[in-house]
Amino acid sequence: MSRIGKHPVSIPKGVDVAVEGQTVKVKGKLGNLQETLPGEVLIALEDGSLAVKPREDDKRGLQMWGLARTLVQNMVTGVSDGFTRRLDISGVGYRANVDGNILNLQLGYSHDIKFAIPEDVKIVCETPTAIVISGFEKQRVGQIAAEIRGFRPPEPYKGKGVRYGDEVVRRKEGKKK
């Protein structure tokens, strides 16, 4: 039994939710999201909250129950509060800056990496070594953070590279004589 799926999704003020069959549409101050949920679950809008229940108690229905509830929760949270992902850059000469809608990364290669910032995501460089990615769609924010991190992942010997703000890099011991 899904422990996540049992809890209804509360809808905060300023968020409008519409359920049409398996499609859930969420509208809030930050944007609009729409998701078609798996056919193994039922979605019901009842007194200010969304309840998700499995159609049948088979294995697939119970698996999709928690997934569908989490997808709906992420949509509601995204349009009301938004999501933020922080990246930290460490290394001598490694830095980043935003120029219009281009993120310019200097990560120790012979050339700068120019990353085009999508329209639905906001990227800010608080300092030359800190990047903050924010948006209303959780999957999109995480994907863009992963793409930027992929240009120079942290290496285990000196810890140089781009890492998530909450990531801990396990360091290895170097060569011994």
Mean per-residue pLDDT pooled into runs of 10, the chain (177 residues): 84 92 93 92 90 90 91 94 96 94 95 94 95 96 96 94 93 87
- For residue 4, the model assigns a pLDDT of 86
What 10-15 contacts at long range (C-beta under 8 Å, 24+ apart), as own/partner pairs, is 10/48, 10/49, 11/48, 11/49, 11/50, 11/76, 12/76, 12/80, 14/80, 15/76, 15/79, 15/80
pLDDT at 1: 61
Residue 118: Cβ within 10 Å count? 13
The domains located in the chain, with CATH, are: 9-80 (3.90.930.12), 83-164 (3.90.930.12)
Encoded amino acid at 175, one letter: K
What pTM value is reported for the model? 0.88
Q: Cα(101)–Cα(31) distance, rounded to whole angstroms?
A: 20
What pLDDT score was predicted for residue 57?
87
pLDDT at 98: 96
Burial of 110 (0-12, 13-18, 19+ CB in 10 A): exposed
